[in-house]
Chain A
């Protein structure tokens, strides 16, 4: 038996395989948008044909971070804002593993904002799902980086004086090569986008609108929404940077005016992923590094043969 026989296994994958058995009970509130992400993600897996053992899901901290308690793959529930740097290295260490990262808007756009920008810049081959509920859920309803200007919360009782972050535009500028927005209320589109994002060879950023009925009472439930790909009103070339930028501007502006636009916002297929670039310049091995530790034939050099020469 090989050391990684689960990788690339050729068989039909069932959606149920990603559902844990008897435990644990989901601790999300009734009506929480996070259920929608979980469902869409599970539905996407059979489409991309990945079996649970070859998928690694990295989450941050927040209600959103609990995703991998209910998703039966390899999982790493990291610390607030840090899912991406952990996930990045995982992908470099074993590029054959399907790496997915997920977290909240506080997690990804606030505390982990720096990592979000840099992961996009480097175009790591992975999928990042941000549960955007415009609020801090787990810490009980504080203003988040995507809360609208004027949003009142216990920590900003006078109403936030800050404009919300614009994650789609930000990630386009940062260098993400697949950018989409979807919503928990739109399960079919969400499933398709997640599947596409996973198959995309590069950094795929999904801003996933999720409602938080507990703390964001006046939150839109993101209905009605318009799928920009289905609507005649929006005719743009999703691979054209300038058109994509304009579409994102509209999308982000209108969200705060109550109009929800979802869909693929930008897709660039030409740019090689970071791993491919690193391999091309000889900074990364061709075969997955992680496998070498299980390969009995692997050669492990001693330093004195190679390096000590300089010191003699």
Chain B
């Protein structure tokens, strides 16, 4: 357990404003100079049920959620209090309180809204006993009452913030500023009054806890945002001006953000009838020369399989986003998992080539979405950004300067009309858009777009000759296949040279390794720190390029360790399988720590998993699985 950090959890029913309240809380802490990270847990239900968000704050960079938490603000589930429907809801309003007992650390503070709960009900959940056992400080307050006095019950969130600020002794200044910036008129006044009242009421309680909220300061201006924000802004900065989609959790987030902003950037967003159409539209816009994207989650992405292949065969650039959630089928709509890797790598017929990047955090969501666009449009190939529900929803601060890069509106390998005049033409009048051997010696034959003079060609999903006419000529087939597939080698070399996406962590000469991809990377890095503190010798490698796979980089790293634990959120070790397939050796060095219960790893779990693996012990925890190395 790490000291000198605050992990504040707010719990309530879905629809109770847990999201916005936690966002404000995190932002206020960031503005006060701390580093923050949020973790979201929510059920697949629109209103009611039990949901929580954690905000972890430290005076140094926070990489992941911590182990457990030390402050609970339990608002209770207001949607459970539906008198007409008691039989169904039962005592659900209590859930935000007792469902969170497990992870509250010893000596933690538990603040709950007694205004919403009946005393006898609270007795039933044996709160007092649990508190005594764990040394918790239990603080019942009538938050609802305080809110009601100034207007509306819904402002009990604000009351909860006021009380939190008093108990933690962090002042209300930042919260006041946020209220002033976000609200106006009566609402602003009422919220400020609620904040103050709750602060004062809680100040009078004398709670002797030992949670220390660190003090911090930032060297440069920070912003706090989610992975979906970062993907969207990366796309916008790359000149993406067209998006088409169909809602599916958690992809909906990017789709929504883009739809809200594209019109102001002079772009176009289309919500269409299904995911096949969504991907097809993105191809249509791209065919015309516009930088476009689409995306979905598991089942929706399955529908995009055919347009994906069409993009590849017609060499139409496009960026697709795959936001993973637990599967198979509709699986667990609101829970993260990393189990669509194989789906994304191998879906669509034929020997197909696509680029797949798996950003590990919000920072990488931005940079790798930019890479995905650059590569797609330069090399005329579909590229996919795969991430999961964890990164989609969590918020994290980073320097605003991270987004200070120049925009790149370059549509890639498209010719101007002057260049088309000089390009090779065929007797049929069609421009040779798919040359076997492009003039610059690369594998990319530059394209024209409709409306350009003398650039006519046929794009077709059938095999075709250089001018795009359908062809089953064996020599042509080989030439076209080779050219399309060879692009992957060019891209690998390009990435090596310009934009390595892999992240090395820990002492270079460490004995053991943790190999990880996507959203679990930063949690694994925190675990590596602790393992080294515990006297182990461990380093980590976070891999982001799923295709083309960075064979050389990962081989060298695997060579340098005695053994590597591959950490991922799925049941069948998909990333380890990919690594083994791509590298073709070191199968005996890689074992797996897997988790697929709908919750991401906590650092301590990786520490435990690692220790039992090197000690040859069985994993004590039942929420994870250990898979030994091949040949073990």
Chain A residues engaging chain B, CB cutoff 8 angstroms = 1-7, 20-24, 52-56, 58, 61, 66, 68-69, 72-79, 82, 85-90, 92-94, 96-97, 114-115, 118, 278, 282-285, 289-290, 292-294, 298, 300-304, 306-308, 311-312
- Closest A residue to B468 by CB, please name it: A75
Q: Looking at the complex, which one of B273, B284, B470 makes contact with A89 (CB distance below 8 Å)?
A: B284
Q: Given the complex, which residues of B lie within 8 Å of A53, measured CB to CB?
A: 450-456
Q: How far is the CB of B281 from chain A (nearest CB, A)?
A: 4
| B575 close to chain A: CB less than 8 A | no
Cα of A3 to Cα of B448 in the assembled complex, Å: 10
Which of B44-52, B91-99, B239-247 lines the interface with chain A? B239-247
B281 / chain A contacts, CB cutoff of 8 Å = 85-86, 88-89
Annotate B395-425 by CB proximity to A: 1 below 8 A, 0 otherwise: 0000010011111011100101110000000
B556 at the interface (CB under 8 A from A): no
A284 touches B268 (CB 8 A): yes
Nearest CB of chain A from residue B584's CB, rounded to whole Å: 34
> Is the CB of B137 closer than 8 A to any CB of chain A?
no
> Are B430 and A300 in contact, with the CB atoms below 8 A?
no
CB distance from A124 to the nearest CB of B (A): 11
Evaluate contact between A86 and B287: CB separation under 8 angstroms: yes
Interface centre among B449, B450, B454 (most CB of A within 10 A): B450
B273 to chain A, nearest CB (A): 4
A-B CB proximity, top 7 nearest? A89-B284, A85-B280, A77-B460, A89-B281, A311-B223, A86-B284, A93-B288
Name which of B195-203, B204-212, B229-237, B486-494 contacts chain A.
Answer: B229-237
* Closest CB in chain B relative to A118 CB, distance in Å: 4
Question: Please, how many angstroms separate the alpha-carbon atoms of A53 and B276 in the complex?
Answer: 28
Tell me how far the C-beta of A67 lies from the nearest C-beta in chain B, rounded to whole angstroms.
11
Closest Cβ of chain A to B151, distance in Å, is 26
Chain A residue at smallest Cβ distance from B414: A293
Q: Which of B289, B406, B455 contacts A290 (CB 8 A)?
A: B289
CB distance from A73 to the nearest CB of B (A): 6
A6-B451, A53-B451, A69-B470 in contact; A76/B459 too (CB < 8 A)?
yes
Min C-beta distance of B518 to chain A, whole Å: 23
Check: B134 CB closer than 8 A to any chain A CB. no
Listed A/B pairs (22) with beta-carbon separation below 8 Å: A2-B417, A5-B453, A20-B428, A53-B452, A74-B450, A74-B456, A74-B457, A77-B470, A82-B277, A85-B277, A85-B278, A93-B288, A114-B273, A115-B273, A289-B266, A289-B268, A289-B290, A292-B266, A293-B290, A302-B403, A306-B261, A311-B223
Contact of A68 among B239, B409, B458 (CB under 8 A): B458
Assuming the contacts A82-B307, A304-B404, asked whether A73 and B456 have C-beta atoms less than 8 A apart, the reply is yes
Q: Considering residues B267, B283, B284, B403, which has the most beta carbons from chain A within 10 angstroms of its beta carbon?
A: B284
Interface assignment of B285: CB less than 8 Å from any CB of chain A: yes
| B236 contacts A75, C-beta separation under 8 Å | no
Contact call B407/A4, Cβ cutoff below 8 A: no
Residues of B at under 8 Å CB distance from A?
A: 221-225, 229, 233, 236-237, 239, 241-242, 244, 261, 263-270, 272-274, 276-278, 280-285, 287-292, 306-307, 310, 314, 400, 403-407, 409-411, 414, 416-418, 426-430, 449-462, 468-470
Q: Are A97 and B284 in contact (CB under 8 A)?
A: no
* A91 to chain B: closest residue by CB: B284
Q: Which residues of A contact B282 (CB under 8 A)?
A: 89
- Residue numbers in B under 8 Å from A77 (CB-CB): 458-462, 470
Q: Is the beta-carbon distance between B277 and A79 smaller than 8 angstroms?
A: no
Given the known A-B contacts A2-B417, A283-B268, A311-B224, are A90 and B287 also in contact in the complex, defined by CB atoms under 8 Å? yes
A3/B239 in contact, CB under 8 A: no
Q: A289: which B residues are within 8 A, CB to CB?
A: 241-242, 266-268, 285, 290
B608 smallest CB distance to A (angstroms): 35
Least Cβ distance of A200 to chain B in Å? 20
Say yes or no: A115-B460 contact (C-beta < 8 A), given A93-B268, A303-B236: no
CA distance A163 to B225 in the complex (A): 55
Give Cα A81 to B462, complex, Å: 15
> Is the Cβ of B272 less than 8 Å from the Cβ of A93?
no
Q: Give which listed residue, A1, A4, A89, A306, contacts B285 with CB less than 8 A.
A: A89
For residue B250, give the distance in angstroms from its CB to the closest CB of chain A.
19
Report yes or no: B270 in contact with A1, Cβ–Cβ below 8 A: no
Q: Is A97 within 8 A of B430, CB to CB?
A: no
Q: Kindly list 9 other residue pairs between chains A and B, CB separation below 8 angstroms, not including A69-B458, A77-B458.
A: A54-B451, A72-B428, A76-B458, A89-B244, A90-B284, A94-B450, A114-B277, A289-B266, A303-B233
Whether the Cβ atoms of A94 and B451 lie closer than 8 Å is yes
Q: Which residues of A contact B265 (CB under 8 A)?
A: 301, 306
**CA A32 – CA B626 in complex, angstroms?**
63
Question: For residue B282, which residue of chain A has the nearest CB?
Answer: A89
In the assembled complex, the CB of A48 is this many whole angstroms from the nearest CB of chain B, namely 16
Does A89 contact B469, Cβ atoms closer than 8 Å?
no
Specify which chain A residues have a CB less than 8 angstroms from the CB of B283 in the assembled complex: 78, 86, 89
Chain B residues within 8 Å of A293, by CB: 239, 289-291, 409-411, 414
Q: Which of A90, A94, A307 has the most CB of B within 10 A?
A: A307
Centre residue among B222, B456, B457 by max chain A CB count within 10 A: B456
With contacts A53-B451, A285-B266, A312-B222 taken as known, whether A302 is within 8 angstroms of B244 at the C-beta atoms is no
Q: A3 near B417 (CB under 8 angstroms)?
A: yes
In the complex, what distance in Å separates the CA atom of A114 from the CA atom of B449?
A: 28
Contact A282 B239, beta carbon cutoff 8 Å: no
CA A228 to CA B270, docked complex, whole Å:
38
With known contacts A74-B450, A76-B287, A284-B268, A1–B459 Cβ distance under 8 A: no
State the CA gap A78–B470 with chains docked (Å): 12
**Distance in angstroms between the alpha carbons of A1 and B453 in the assembled complex:** 10
Interchain CA distance A96-B284 in the complex, whole Å: 15
